[in-house]
Structure 1
Amino acid sequence: MAAERVWESVKVEGPDSAGVATLTLHRPSRFNALNPSLFQEIPAAIRALDMDPAVRVVILNAAGQHFCSGIDLSFFTTVVGSDASTCLGRQREKFRRDVKDMQDAFTAFEECRKPVIAAIHGACIGGGIDMVTACDLRYCTENANFSVKEVDVAITADLGTLQRLPKLIGHGSAMELALTGRHFSGPEAKSLGLVQGVLPSKTELDAYVQKIASQIAAKSPLAVMGTKAVLIKSRDMSVAQGLDYVGLWNAAMLVSEDLEEAALAKMQKRTPKFSKL
């Protein structure tokens, strides 16, 4: 079980009786700044939760005052200058591999078969936006503040924001935020389409996200998994390609015990009960 492992920089709880598990960023003294431990433990924890048949939905949240203050700059400087080779090409190749590993840490949220819902409070800066844009749903508090901050530290954002954010809020809005590095609020994030909802406080945010997660967890695990997979795949396809893909998906997955249970529950006017994934 995912919860049995002792983690250094994350905390894993659940799943609860509804099938909802929680992954918490747990470096509150550093405002959950992304360090080597987080980049290693985030994908490991997500993959463990993905493989746990009792888990149906994952909530991503954070301990302390802020969701994520971005990449720990002390870690970044060690990555840039970590290769002792005198060959410039080998130094650059080592850096490329390091960046790919960090990208993969967040891509793990997309690759997880179960939906991942981000609950954001306080600051969500730089690498924090890379992280939440890879999640499936996002909710935040009114006092949350966001910034695509990399341009202010002379970096081109390279962990997913420039690829995923335009898909969520549109090219022009993403361009403006990425070029200015300006801060924007929770309500503005909602108006842009980055988050699906804004709650007055962290307590209300946690309760609301738990409610949404439980609603999703009550549905057919196969249908939820398929819906996530098809939406992500179709995002980068033409409509015709997406239709072909979902046709093939349902040809493989449509006939299932879940379909039979959903039909029986409807006829019997009861809540369906689905098996673990």
Structure 2
Amino acid sequence: MSDYKAFNVVLADKVAHVVINRPEKVNAMNADFWREIIDIFRWIDDTDEVRAVVISGAGKHFSSGIDLMMLASVGSQLGPDVGRNAEKLRRKILELQASFNAVDNCRKPVLAAIQGYCLGGAIDLISACDMRYSTVDAQFSIKEIDIGMAADVGTLQRLPRIIGDGMMRELAFTGRTIEGEEARSMGLVNRTYADADALLDGVMGIAREIASKSPVAIRGTKEMIRYMRDHRVDDGLEYIATWNAAMLQSADLRVAMTAHMSKQKPEFAD
């Protein structure tokens, strides 16, 4: 693993812990953040030892969203030509989207552990994760509406599939803040914890449990879930039939069945 400016990354027990590490700036997402997260998730995808991923934020808060200084620097590059400005802005937006697409497209399950602020761009990030967990006092807000823009890095595309269309619209149109228990009640987070320590302990425990399963089975399960977001049921059934025609020949199936019959814990190859 390389040294990162916006993150700290640790691999232990087959779980990669990716920590947004700018606590003095409320973990705001600066240029380093957007660039490095692509490199990190490329490494995660390429490293067979990594079986699951936990994303958290250093300090009191998960993230306050995009760094406003970065937005200002983008604005300072615009000139008098509307067409050229639009082209430049479109390319920048697609570049930022690619950062969270890297999270969404990751072959390994990604769990978000959220405490304190989770605002604006941070909602885009957690929407790209597989599961979300928070403290009871975590604060969530689709904040873009309050700075005069529509969220453009994935919230409006991914969140309706997590909390439903109507609730997403309410949060996006109002920008209101919700806390952990309301987030849990609408399905934004799976579970809440009393404090940050309990949160991280609980989420790391879930990640380690996932990491103990067959990597081949986990990969297939995530791929099928992602595929079904944009396809019909019959398409999905056809895809899993083709996928499992190969994957059911994996040694993992024999290892799992033998362990189950002998009441032993299975050990799978990376």
- TM tier, shorter chain? over 0.9
Matches within 5 A, 1:179-198: 179-198=173-192
Deviation at 1:83, TM superposition (A): 4.3
Aligned structure 1 segments of 4 or more residues deviating by more than 3 angstroms: none
Give the match for residue 70 of structure 2: 75
Change (3 A) 1:214 1:154: same
Q: Counterparts of 2:122 and 2:70 in 1: how far apart (Å)?
A: 15
Give the match for residue 32 of structure 2: 37
Give the match for residue 10 of structure 2: 13
Q: Deviations over 1:208-248 (max 9, x none)?
A: 00110011001000100111111011011111111122122
Deviation at 1:265, TM superposition (A): 1.2
Per mean C-alpha deviation after superposition, the further-off stretch among 93-102 and 246-255 is 246-255
Q: Counterparts of 1:267 and 1:167 in 2: how far apart (Å)?
A: 38
Matches within 5 A, 1:1-277: 2=1, 5-14=2-11, 16=12, 18-83=13-78, 86-276=80-270
Q: Counterparts of 2:23 and 2:252 in 1: how far apart (Å)?
A: 41
Deviation at 1:80, TM superposition (A): 3.0
Identity of aligned residues (%): 44
In the alignment of these two chains, the number of paired residues is: 270
Question: Where do 5+ consecutive residues of structure 2 fail to align?
Answer: none
Which amino acid letter does the alignment assign opposite residue 56 of structure 2?
A: N
Instruction: Give the secondary structure class of the aligned counterpart of 1:24.
Output: strand
Per mean C-alpha deviation after superposition, the further-off stretch among 65-74 and 130-139 is 65-74
Per mean C-alpha deviation after superposition, the further-off stretch among 260-269 and 177-186 is 260-269
Q: Deviations over 1:26-46 (max 9, x none)?
A: 010110111100000111111
The RMSD of aligned alpha carbons is 1.1
Question: Where do 5+ consecutive residues of structure 1 fail to align?
Answer: none
